[in-house]
Amino acid sequence: MGGRDIMWTLGIESTAHTLSFGLVDKDGIPFPSSTSTIKPEKGGIHPREAADHHKECASRLLHDALESQSLMPTDISAIAYSQGPGLGPCLRIGASIARGLASKFDVPLIGVNHCVAHIEIGRQQCGCEDPVLLYVSGGNTQVIARLDGKYRVLGETLDIGIGNMLDKFARAQGIPFPGGPVIEKLAAKWIEENPNPTMEGLELPYAVRGMDLAFSGVLTAALRLVENGKPLEAVCWSLQEHVFSACVEVAERALAHTGKTELLLGGGVACNSRLRIMCELMCEERDSKSYAPPRMYCIDNGTMIARLGWLELGAGRITNYDTSAIDQYLRTDQTPIIWA
Ligand code: ATP
Ligand code: FE2
């Protein structure tokens, strides 16, 4: 591997329901990923079923990713993969593929932190310098800022991730995974039909706990509203307004405490237009700016893994095989920022 110039970096994402291969070129410029997401017909994601899905579609997706840029496997000069956090069986598939490819093509292996990858693709896409990140996905809900060489978690969910909460609420209404986008549509419909909606009778508990958040109480209360006959569209609207306000409030406090003036959205729930607008309004009021990457880089994608791998490799970091094991519980603040 020595002496070889960096050509293309391949990134492999496999933390949960999504397997995705993405590429960045020698300058770290990202290209859209080849992705497949398991959508369970009933119930939540079963880690082993997700892992089986990843195994089944891996070779086709890898082929598609290479073909999308007309590359030969020998054009790949580094392999990055999600080392954690995530579901063990799913992470292990990605890590095994990464080790196999790195060894076959004799190129460096770089295990990266999935959460940090969400931040770095967002920074690259939006051109922001030093943002507070509102990271809202299925499994994670965190407010993060760079302090002393690490991305520090200033606030986070104490129970379930906001996306999981939305998906669970949706599932109880017979809406298949992923529920978030459907809830967004139903909420928008309610506003369309009721231009001046009132929260009367639709109140939900507030999710803020100091700098942290908690969503399971809101979920239970929202389910009860539907059971008590409130229109589903109305409850979806109320649910979004309540939980997004809670996230925006914690993000605003993080901006105030850190003195930073950029907010960056990341994670699948950052696809939501209403959340994007709420963040923009909050930032306008405090002379700050809110950024959101294109939706394909908000959801889990291999390209963000490639991008962070490229950054870390550029700063001299390589993962040796004996330290390449996955870490289901890897924390955002465990990864030293050596590249910026
Ligand atoms: P992580 O491993 O970082 O927790 P993840 O496995 O949950 O990520 P993502 O692709 O980041 O995967 O996020 C998926 C979540 O995003 C799902 O819960 C889905 O319902 C939610 N989501 C996607 N689009 C929207 C939307 N428009 N509005 C609200 N939620 C959305
Ligand atoms: Fe994610």
Spell out the domains of the chain, with CATH numbers in brackets: 8-119+299-334 (3.30.420.40), 128-297 (3.30.420.40)
Give whole-number Cα distances, 2 to 5, 108, 209, 306, in Å: 9, 9, 51, 20
Residue 40's pLDDT is what? 79
Return the ligand number nearest the Cα of 215.
Answer: 1
266 Cα to the center of ligand 1, angstroms: 10
Return the ligand number nearest the Cα of 90.
Answer: 1
Residue 82's pLDDT is what? 98
Ligand 1 site residues (CB inside 6 A) read 15-18, 86, 114, 137-140, 161, 163, 166-167, 178-181, 184, 267-269, 271-272, 299-300
Residue 100's pLDDT is what? 97
Cβ atoms within 10 A of the Cβ of 220, count?
Answer: 12
Q: Among candidates 133, 88, 166, 146, which has minimal Cα distance to 265?
A: 133
pLDDT beneath 50: ranges in the chain: 1-3
Residue 312's pLDDT is what? 98
Best probe residue, ligand 1, of 45, 276, 300 (max atoms within 8 Å of C-beta): 300
Strands (E), the chain: 8-13, 18-24, 30-37, 76-84, 109-113, 132-136, 141-147, 150-156, 208-209, 212-213, 262-266, 289-291
Backbone φ, ψ for residue 142 (5° rounding): -140, 150
Q: Give the amino acid at 4.
A: R
Residue 6's pLDDT is what? 72
CB 271, CB 298: distance < 8 Å: yes
Residue 68's pLDDT is what? 97
Best probe residue, ligand 1, of 12, 299, 326 (max atoms within 8 Å of C-beta): 299
**Nearest atom in ligand 1 to 271's CA:** 27
Residue 22's pLDDT is what? 98
